[in-house]
A and B are shown apart, each in its own frame.
Chain A
Amino acid sequence: MTALREWLTVALLLLGSGLMLLAAVAIVRFPDLYARMQASTKASTLGIACLALAAAVHFGSLAVSVRAGAIVIFVFLTAPVAAHVLGHAAHVIGVPLWDGTLFDDLRRDSMAPAENLGEDREDTDHSSPTR
């Protein structure tokens, strides 16, 4: 039982730090801000979840498990919201997209006349690139 708990802690620690490294590689190597943010946010969120679960498994007490669960819940609630707010702000101020981007739905929706929003959604084909 103790050995199982030890090896589970080791596996979760290595998985969590590996996901952290994956997030860092993503934020260095990806071509534009939006790709960097979507990759690094998701990978680092999952990495935090693995590390907190490792702490909960290692200590095995109720108090530590509740704190680890609080960390996981906070990060899972706030990281997507922060990434959305920052990505939207970056899109508004005109941070350039990657050259290989095929379509930009947010730009099309914000450029459309207000009375057309919500109607005629069937003509929004993605086959014609907007850039």
Chain B
Amino acid sequence: MTFGALLGADVVRVATSIAFTVMALAAALTLWRLVRGPTVPDRVAALDLLTIFVVGAMVTSAIHYESPVLLQPAVALALLGFLGTVAFAKYVLRRFFSS
């Protein structure tokens, strides 16, 4: 009998719920920078951070729902976020040099 069973609830599930809440708050803050951001690179940095938050939420939900299958889209999204950021950086440079 673990200490978590003494609490009457699964401790890991409580921790994943707290982690979901904290990451939702962090995503809301980042969304504010995405909307407000004075320049285009600000918005791209916010979008990159949001992608990393989504990867973290996928890993957390894999723990919460006890299904390791959810880790596979997290691996794919970790690569796609990098490609998106590099593509946006190239777009920013090209738009600057063509005008």
Known: A86-B45, A92-B93. A20 touches B12 (CB 8 A): no
Q: Which residues of A contact B2 (CB under 8 A)?
A: 2-3, 6
The closest CB in chain B to the CB of A57 belongs to: B63
| Cross-chain pair count, CB within 8 angstroms | 180
Could you tell me how many residues of chain B have their Cβ less than 8 Å away from some Cβ of chain A?
Answer: 52
Distance in Å: Cβ of A108 to nearest Cβ of chain B: 21
Interface contact B55-A48, CB-CB below 8 Å? yes
Mark out the residues of chain A between 53 and 90 whose CB falls within 8 Å of any chain B CB in the assembled complex: 54-55, 58-59, 61, 63-64, 67-68, 70-71, 74-75, 78-79, 81-83, 85-90
Known: A86-B41, A90-B41. A64 touches B71 (CB 8 A): yes
Mark out the residues of chain B between 13 and 48 whose CB falls within 8 Å of any chain A CB in the assembled complex: 14-16, 18-19, 22-23, 25-27, 29-30, 32-33, 39, 41-42, 44-46, 48
Q: Which residues of B contact A (CB under 8 A)?
A: 2-4, 11-12, 14-16, 18-19, 22-23, 25-27, 29-30, 32-33, 39, 41-42, 44-46, 48-49, 52-53, 55-56, 59-60, 62-63, 68, 71-72, 74-75, 78-79, 81-82, 85-86, 88-90, 92-93, 96
